[in-house]
């Protein structure tokens, strides 16, 4: 190993908001990756605009640092369950994982998922209890909870003997224990190098590399990202690519990149153990193995988890179509979805009976809504249907559906409302703990029942509650679940909404629009207080006469309208409604724009139900 770099690959895994990206920042800042005069933002790895706005990691990313002569490749992974397929694949390419756990929250559902994947393939984790500066930190109890979690996940004796560190990632501090202060993350670096051996020198063996992630470059096309398990990889050399179906094809790598700090660097050769990016194979896919032509050894297949939710993406057919978007046709939509499939392996796109509609399936609402938000920012217009849960049949032919573990943390005064709402959604309580005025309720509930629950939960707890979900498995179909209880206010006219009309309408429900908003026939402008849809005229103005009124006019004070985010709109709609997404607006509409269209659609639905 004296001639080449010593290589070690680590992944940072945790639940959402535990501090993964912040810890990676500390790695980079304390390894002289940045110049002295370079301006550095927080969460440098969250480079995507959406990641920065939402404060979450959506795509796993790589970087590297050098410490004591060892090159450490670091992978920052997403914490949301919707992006779990990213975490599963990445963990295969690393030598150890740093498990980050919040010092007050303790292990959460997603912590269990990512840890189980690491333990399954035999990795020996390092535990880092983060945020020990919190007022309500209970680090010692959290360590006991993590031990219990390891035992539940059948960790072996070696895995149970994990090192424990304590830290404040935001300040770049890691300590060996709670009483030994530190001013850097040096204890973490030392623990990584002591706890984990560098990758063995297998440069003389025949080449073997497996692709664990994909990327796309406008100039050089599709890129494969993965670890070289054996041998030395060189550009311009012919290799055999073995895909998941067992097909073998001769192909040549045009370029090889390795990670140096945050940047990808073009190299003439890459050695065993390193994580590399390869170009020149247009059909490369997740799980493909690159082998020496003389020694073809495909690696074990990588299973991609099945999608759980589907939505229909329609061409925007509203009267306002094409006013703000650049890409509005079915061809534009088809090309963009095909481009997304190049890199988003958890996604599935299928044609439907209509040429203007595509069925898009993914791992959850967030997974698909991130795609819609990106398309919207790129100038696409589309209409999206209510998310539908994908049902399956088990080996006995029984209909089964995905079940999620839901953890609700909220002030104790709201527990009755939360329990009532989850019971109505066919949930089954698993556990309930009360401490310091807060209650932690754990439920198992069908994914179908949880559609639209998040926004209700936030309203019911007045923004003080936190909700965590993860898919726990499949169970027999739970039967019918009631949809939204309130009806919709549907505009009967096209034009500008008037203050007078909205002032009269606000008594009958909650408005989604403000005065002077452009509306069209069939657009939903508010939520009715009753469980029926209402046809309303938001354009109606006060009649003007030449006679002065005897009394003073009342001041028309309007309640601020409810403004939907994309996820909230998708949660709110019913089966007969669509969310219209354009670069400058998110509108909600009925599938049938006129009253006659809606009656016809209702009759068709009734006829199908009879059949």
Distance CA 138, CA 133 (A): 10
Low-confidence ranges of the chain (pLDDT < 70): 1-4, 16-17, 32-61, 78-88, 544-555, 611
Strand, helix or coil at 485?
A: coil
Distance CA 183, CA 171 (A): 9
Q: Which two tokens stand for residue 41?
A: 């933002």
| Contact in structure between 7 and 273 (CB atoms under 8 Å) | yes
> Which pLDDT score is estimated for 3?
55
- Dihedral over alpha carbons 338, 341, 346, 350 (to 10 degrees): 20
For residue 437, CA distances in Å to 261, 413, 415 come to 45, 8, 11
Distance CA 45, CA 216 (A): 18
Distance CA 37, CA 184 (A): 20
Distance CA 229, CA 50 (A): 34
**Secondary structure element (H or E) that encloses residue 232, with its range:** none
Cα end-to-end span (Å), the chain: 71
- The tens digit of pLDDT for each residue in 89-113 reads 777 788 888 888 888 888 877 777 7
CB half-sphere exposure, 12, CA atoms < 13 A: 32
Distance CA 245, CA 110 (A): 31
User: Dihedrals φ, ψ of 421, to 5°?
Assistant: -65, -45
| Contact in structure between 216 and 342 (CB atoms under 8 Å) | yes
| Contact in structure between 75 and 11 (CB atoms under 8 Å) | yes
- Dihedral over alpha carbons 319, 322, 324, 330 (to 10 degrees): 120
Distance CA 61, CA 225 (A): 10
> Which pLDDT score is estimated for 437?
84
Q: Model-level pTM? A: 0.76
> Which pLDDT score is estimated for 548?
58
DSSP letter (8 states) at residue 323: S
């Amino acid at each position: 190993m004296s001639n080449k770099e010593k290589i070690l690959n680590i992944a940072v895994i945790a639940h959402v908001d535990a501090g993964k990206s912040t810890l990676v920042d500390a790695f980079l800042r304390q390894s002289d990756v940045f110049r002295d005069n370079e301006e550095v933002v927080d969460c440098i790895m969250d480079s995507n605009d959406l990641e920065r706005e939402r404060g979450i990691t959506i795509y796993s990313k790589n970087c590297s640092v050098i410490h004591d002569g060892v090159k450490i490749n670091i992978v920052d992974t997403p914490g949301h369950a919707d992006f779990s397929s990213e975490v599963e694949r990445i963990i295969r390419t690393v030598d150890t994982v740093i498990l980050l756990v919040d010092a007050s929250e303790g292990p959460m559902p997603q912590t269990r998922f990512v840890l189980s994947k690491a333990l399954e393939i035999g990795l020996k984790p390092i535990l880092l209890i983060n945020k020990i500066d919190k007022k309500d930190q209970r680090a010692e109890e959290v360590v006991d909870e993590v031990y219990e979690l390891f035992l539940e996940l059948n960790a072996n004796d070696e895995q149970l003997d994990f090192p424990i560190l304590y830290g404040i990632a935001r300040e770049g501090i890691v300590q060996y224990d709670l009483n030994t202060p530190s001013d850097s993350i040096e204890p973490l670096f030392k623990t990584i190098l002591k706890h984990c051996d560098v990758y063995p020198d297998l440069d003389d063996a025949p080449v073997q590399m497996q692709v664990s992630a994909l990327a796309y470059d406008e100039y050089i096309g599709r890129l494969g990202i993965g670890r070289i398990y054996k041998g030395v990889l060189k550009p311009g050399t012919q290799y055999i690519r073995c895909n998941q179906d067992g097909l073998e094809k001769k192909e040549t790598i045009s370029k090889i990149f390795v990670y140096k700090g945050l940047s990808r660097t073009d190299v003439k050769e890459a050695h065993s153990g390193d994580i590399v990016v390869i170009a020149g194979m247009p059909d490369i896919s997740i799980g493909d193995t690159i082998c020496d032509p003389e020694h073809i050894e495909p690696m074990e297949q990588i299973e991609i988890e099945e999608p759980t939710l589907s939505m229909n993406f329609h061409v925007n057919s509203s009267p306002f179509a094409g006013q703000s978007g650049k890409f509005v046709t079915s061809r534009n939509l088809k090309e963009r979805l095909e481009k997304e499939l190049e890199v988003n392996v958890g996604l599935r796109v299928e044609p439907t009976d209509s040429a203007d509609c595509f069925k898009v399936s993914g791992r959850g609402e967030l997974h698909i809504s991130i795609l819609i938000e990106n398309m919207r920012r790129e100038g696409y217009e589309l209409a999206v249907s209510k998310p539908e849960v994908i049902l399956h049949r088990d080996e006995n032919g029984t209909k089964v559906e995905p079940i999620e573990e839901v953890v609700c943390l909220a002030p104790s005064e709201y527990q009755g409302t939360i329990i009532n709402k989850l019971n109505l959604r066919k949930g089954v309580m698993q556990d309930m703990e009360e401490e310091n005025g807060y209650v932690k309720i754990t439920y198992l509930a069908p994914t179908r029942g949880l559609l639209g629950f998040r926004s209700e939960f936030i309203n019911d707890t007045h923004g003080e509650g936190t909700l965590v979900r993860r898919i726990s498995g499949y169970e027999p179909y739970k039967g019918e679940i009631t949809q939204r209880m309130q009806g919709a206010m549907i505009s009967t006219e096209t034009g500008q909404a008037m203050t007078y009309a909205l002032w009269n309408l606000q008594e009958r429900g909650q408005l989604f629009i403000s005065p002077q908003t452009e509306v069209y026939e069939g657009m939903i402008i508010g939520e009715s207080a009753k469980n029926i849809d209402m046809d309303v005229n938001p354009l109606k103005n006060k009649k003007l006469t030449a006679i002065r009124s005897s009394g003073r006019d009342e001041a028309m004070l309007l309640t601020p309208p409810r403004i939907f985010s994309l996820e909230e709109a998708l949660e709110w709609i019913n089966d007969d409604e669509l969310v219209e997404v354009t670069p400058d607006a998110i509108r909600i509409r009925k599938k049938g724009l006129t009253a006659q269209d809606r009656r016809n659609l209702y009759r068709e639905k009734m006829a199908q139900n009879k059949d």
